[in-house]
Every structure is written in structure tokens, then in C-alpha cells.
């Protein structure tokens, strides 16, 4: 399990919030949830929003990272923050809403995980999920290639654990046995980033973390970062005004338990 960097993660909050809000807007307005779970809640922005939007609900924010949860706990007391693994999700009370933003891509086995999460919902409950289509993106391909092709390849093997996004249709098939109103779509955001090496800085908050952890304290860390920086700079050159354009595709999934 990688460590997470809440400070860097927060720096790009404006861009990361957008898909979460786009997902939140699609949660059916007639839903009056009493039990809400935010799986992989991170620093807790969305759980806090959900608690504000549904003041009568019990909101639980689950995350495996103590660092992320420490930030979340400072944010709002009205959420039950829990350290745990989404893979072992077994709520005592069936949720009326499972919200999970930018987290499930870290878990394998979606063929079993997605039906399990859907089956755990209360009748009429909503599953709302957003995941970056990370594996397929240029910046992740560059990260994998860089990690595979240097003297650091052995040390970073464990870090290369993001899987290809399953075919979109598979999510429909996994949800259809228990859910109606299945709505699946993808969006590519063209983020306009400022500053030096902004794509690498963005990735330091998430995708790069497992690699940085794997190389922590090793002489290969800086050479690996320098090689990665150089390849990313070539793939994402700044525009004439200094802005770096960073395309980022995300998959959205909504479904309602029968």
C-alpha cells in the first residue's frame, strides 16, 4: 500500500474536485440516504460535501491511508472516518449511497469487487463511482516505461500495480444483475497547469507515490526522477504562454440497486 502525500494532493484540488462534483451532480435528487459511504475518501472533501448535502444521513469515510485520514479528521467532525481496506468492505448497515471518487483504480479484481459493492447496497441505493482511466493515459505509460527500463527496474516492480481499465461494457454487465438505471460515461479534461514540471508534481501526489516509496533511501531515486522528468517534459511541452496542457480521461459509473 503506498503512502500518500496530502499536501501535494491538495495543490491540485481544483482539478481533482471537478470530476467528483460532476459525479455528485448525477446522484439522483430523489435519493434521501441515511447511510452514506465514501470509499477511498482521501482528505475528505467529498464526504464533507455529502454530510452537508444530507444532514440527516450517517456519513462514513473509509480510507487505508492514516495520513489522508488525519487531514480528513481536521476537516469535519460530522463524518465517521475509518481506516480500512475497500477490498474488505462489509458495512453493518446496507448503504443508501456508495460514493467512490478516484479510488477503485487502485484495487484489482473489479469483476468481483463491483458486484460485491452493488450487492451491499440497500434496495434503491445508489452506486456512484469515478475512476481515472490511468493505465491508458500517456503519463502513466511514460511512468511504466521509465520504471521498466532503468537500473531501478527491480526495485520498482512492486510499484507497477495499476491495471488496465476493464472494457466499459464489463461494468454494465457486472452491475446489471442487481441494478437498474446504469449510466456509464467518460470525459477527458484538458487541465491547464502552471509552474515547473507540473505533470510530475501532479503525479507526486498519487501515481508516483508507490515508486517514490519503493526507491526511498536508494541512490536510484534521483536518477529515476530525472529520467521521468525528462520524458514527461518531452511529451507535455509548455505552450507559448507557459501553460502545460494535461489531458486526463475519467470513467463515471452510476447505478441504482433494485
87 binds ligand SAM (CB under 6 A): yes
Residue (207 or 227) nearer to ligand SAM, CB? 207
User: Mask of contacts with ligand SAM, 148-187, x by CB under 6 A?
Assistant: ----------------------------------------
Binder of ligand SAM out of 5, 12, 37, 40 (CB under 6 A):
40
235 binds ligand SAM (CB under 6 A): no
Q: Which stretch binds ligand SAM (CB under 6 A): 28-36, 102-110, 158-166, 233-241?
A: 102-110
Which residues lie closer than 8 Å to 200 by C-beta, 6 or more apart?
Answer: 208, 225, 228, 229, 232
What is the full DSSP assignment across 139-192? Answer: HHHHHHHHHHSSTTHHHHGGG--PPPPPPHHHHHHHHTTTEEEEEEEEEEEEEE
79 binds ligand SAM (CB under 6 A): no
Which residues lie closer than 8 Å to 195 by C-beta, 6 or more apart?
Answer: 201
24 binds ligand SAM (CB under 6 A): no
5 binds ligand SAM (CB under 6 A): no
Q: Which stretch binds ligand SAM (CB under 6 A): 42-50, 109-117, 223-231, 234-242?
A: 42-50
Q: Give the residue closest to ligand SAM by C-beta.
A: 42
Which residues lie closer than 8 Å to 193 by C-beta, 6 or more apart?
Answer: 12, 15, 199, 202, 243, 244, 245, 246
Residue (16 or 191) nearer to ligand SAM, CB? 16
φ, ψ of residue 200 in degrees (nearest 5): -65, -45
Residue (35 or 63) nearer to ligand SAM, CB? 63
Q: Which stretch binds ligand SAM (CB under 6 A): 96-104, 156-164, 216-224, 247-255?
A: 96-104
- Cα–Cα distance for residue pair 8/18, rounded to 1 Å: 17
Which residues lie closer than 8 Å to 251 by C-beta, 6 or more apart?
Answer: 130, 131, 132, 133, 165, 168, 171, 184, 185, 186
Cα torsion for 5, 101, 202, 53, to the nearest 10°?
Answer: -80
Q: How far is the CB of 62 from ligand SAM (least distance, A)?
A: 6
63 binds ligand SAM (CB under 6 A): yes
Q: Contact residues for ligand SAM (CB under 6 A)?
A: 4, 16, 20, 40-42, 45-46, 62-65, 68, 85-87, 101-103, 106-107, 206
Amino acid at each position: 500500500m503506498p503512502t500518500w502525500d496530502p499536501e501535494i494532493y491538495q495543490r491540485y484540488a481544483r482539478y481533482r474536485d471537478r470530476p467528483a462534483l460532476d459525479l455528485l451532480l448525477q446522484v439522483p435528487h430523489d435519493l434521501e440516504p441515511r447511510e452514506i459511504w465514501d470509499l477511498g475518501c482521501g482528505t475528505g472533501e467529498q464526504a464533507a460535501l455529502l454530510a452537508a448535502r444530507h444532514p440527516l444521513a450517517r456519513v462514513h469515510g473509509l480510507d487505508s491511508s492514516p495520513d489522508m485520514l488525519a487531514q480528513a479528521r481536521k476537516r469535519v467532525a460530522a463524518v465517521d472516518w475509518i481506516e480500512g481496506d475497500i477490498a474488505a468492505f462489509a458495512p453493518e448497515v446496507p448503504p443508501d449511497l456508495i460514493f467512490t471518487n478516484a479510488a477503485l483504480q487502485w484495487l484489482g479484481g473489479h469483476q468481483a469487487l463491483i458486484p460485491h459493492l452493488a450487492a451491499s447496497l440497500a434496495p434503491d441505493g445508489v452506486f456512484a463511482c469515478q475512476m481515472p482511466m490511468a493505465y491508458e493515459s500517456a503519463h502513466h505509460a511514460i511512468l511504466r516505461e521509465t520504471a521498466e527500463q532503468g537500473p531501478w527496474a527491480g526495485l520498482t516492480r512492486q510499484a507497477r500495480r495499476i491495471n488496465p481499465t476493464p472494457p466499459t461494457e464489463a461494468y454494465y454487465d457486472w452491475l446489471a444483475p442487481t441494478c437498474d438505471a446504469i449510466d456509464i460515461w467518460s470525459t477527458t479534461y484538458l487541465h491547464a497547469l502552471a509552474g515547473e514540471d507540473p505533470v510530475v508534481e501532479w503525479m507526486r501526489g498519487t501515481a508516483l507515490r508507490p515508486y517514490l516509496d519503493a526507491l526511498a533511501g536508494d541512490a536510484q531515486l534521483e536518477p529515476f526522477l530525472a529520467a521521468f522528468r525528462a520524458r514527461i517534459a518531452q511529451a507535455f511541452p509548455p505552450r507559448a504562454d507557459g501553460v502545460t496542457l494535461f489531458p486526463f480521461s475519467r470513467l463515471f459509473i452510476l447505478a441504482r440497486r433494485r
